[in-house]
Structure 1
Amino acid sequence: MTVRPRTLAWVADQLADGERVVRVEVLVGGITAEMRRLSVAGPNGETRALVLRSYVDVIDAEDALTREAAALSMLTATTVIGPELVGVDPVGAECEYPSLLMTHLPGRPVLDDAGVEARIPLLARQLVAIHALRPVERPPKYTTLTTADTVITPPGADRRVWAAAIDVIRGPVPSYEGRYLHRDFQPGNVLFDGKNQLTGVVDWASPSWGPADLDVAHCAVNLALLHGPSLGLDFVAAYEAAGGTLAPSPADRYYWLVRDPLACSEDIHLTAAAWRAAGRLDLTTTAAEQRLDAYLTALQELSP
């Protein structure tokens, strides 16, 4: 699919003199946005790549693009590598749909089982660095993404385990020390080169302020879905080994850890579809549901 006419005209306005878009490539793996890789040629034959994110029929597009633009602008003065902001039209004033244009980072998400043990410490160290960021203006407070009444227990799951976890999030929210959160830090949003070196983090549409435990829980459940429950638990340990700080109370840690698997239950079919589109054809909805159930069961052993 090519870029829509008004959006293409807006993109052209963001380019340097003499530059033009010469190729458009659809990027796969996202759930809420259309993603395009744009090859841009300069007047002297040099080329560079940009990424165009467009939200089509997304209610909170303005908020997401405003947050992402702020995050990318902030990252330029830090050691955390993210795309550079080129331009943003958060309300679709000039584009057909709300859009953001940014630089393209080298590398790709690596979702294969091979080498995951070596990648987990790299993921953990990167997340510790993100949580150390101190923006001049804090992003909005986190949202929990689920309630006790909206969790969907997967078919064939251990209903007693799920009921016990749901009861946990019916309780009071633990106190926490606020941190800068990526809020969708997971293997699909972290890039590696061919030498297994981390080259950057993408998808900064939901930065929030809240407990580090939430980001850790989110990455852990995605690792559990991709590679098995033990790898999710390994990430939690790797985060602490990298210097990250989680909730001091075992009960509080358990509260945050179970929140993300429960939230994942509501859109597990979309998550599985995104992983398949990114190359993990084995992750059917049924397979993802089974791994989610196995991971929540494994977490129960951490229950105080």
Structure 2
Amino acid sequence: MKNIAVIGSGTMGNGIAHTFAQFGYQVNLIDINDDALKKAISTIEKNLDRQLNKGTLSEAEKTATLASITTLTDMRTGVAQADLIVEAATENLELKLKIFKDLDAFAKPDAILASNTSSISITQIASVTGRGDKVIGMHFMNPVPVMKLVEVIRGYATSDATTESVMALSEKLAKVPVEVNDYPGFIANRILMPMINEAIYSLYENVAGVEEIDTVMKLGMAHPMGPLQLADFIGLDVCLAILRVLQDGFGNPKYAPCPLLVNMVMAGNKGIKSGEGFYNYTNGVKEAVVAAKFAR
């Protein structure tokens, strides 16, 4: 595989494009919004500069990486010659089904179609295509250029050949691929999201404050980031969406999202992306929001 197409130029999409391009692949980065594409290239350039300053990348490698990325707003043109297409659009089932139906029509017959979904069923996504054996999950972690894990999710119809190809490709990106089967939340979020939800419940029930909860998990459990700060980093709307997928998929009330999380998302407090979640990020300074605001 030499030609890669990435659908969606947001945080995950531009990180995936950056990573493939850095390892010598030709990448078409596709988004319906031209301004979003310009912002994505600017973000990639800043992240490359960060690598340059750390000495992990040369100026020539930075130039080559940027030269390997082409931005397009037309999906049909962008995926026509791709060997692998990675969808990294918003975590919305109907949108993903529409994208994959179009990809199946536009892509080469032998192209592999991958989704970066963090929780939506690969089997369901594959069902709208005529190539279920070539549909797979490639769940990268954020920030993509830094994080080593790629969760490789086999749908019900995903072939051994497709799985082996994606596992090998992930290793060529200096990642560590882990194969999992297609059940709600896969592994990463099936374990992570209930922990985050329980941390939110602990705040909601006034057991402890924001910083106290995060400090316990950082110092007591050796987590690099506390669960409430991590939720802000992921996006509270994304956390809520994943918990609802888990609740619907298993029919188990233990996955029900905390009412506080629901209220925060409805109020527009989605974490770093909105400037406030469990912490306030005004002017780049992270400060815990007063715990009393959250307690029931």
**Shorter-chain TM-score above 0.5:** no
Q: Is the helix fraction higher in 1 or 2?
A: 2
Q: Which has the higher contact order (CA 8 A, sep 6+)?
A: 1
TM (normalized to structure 1)? 0.28
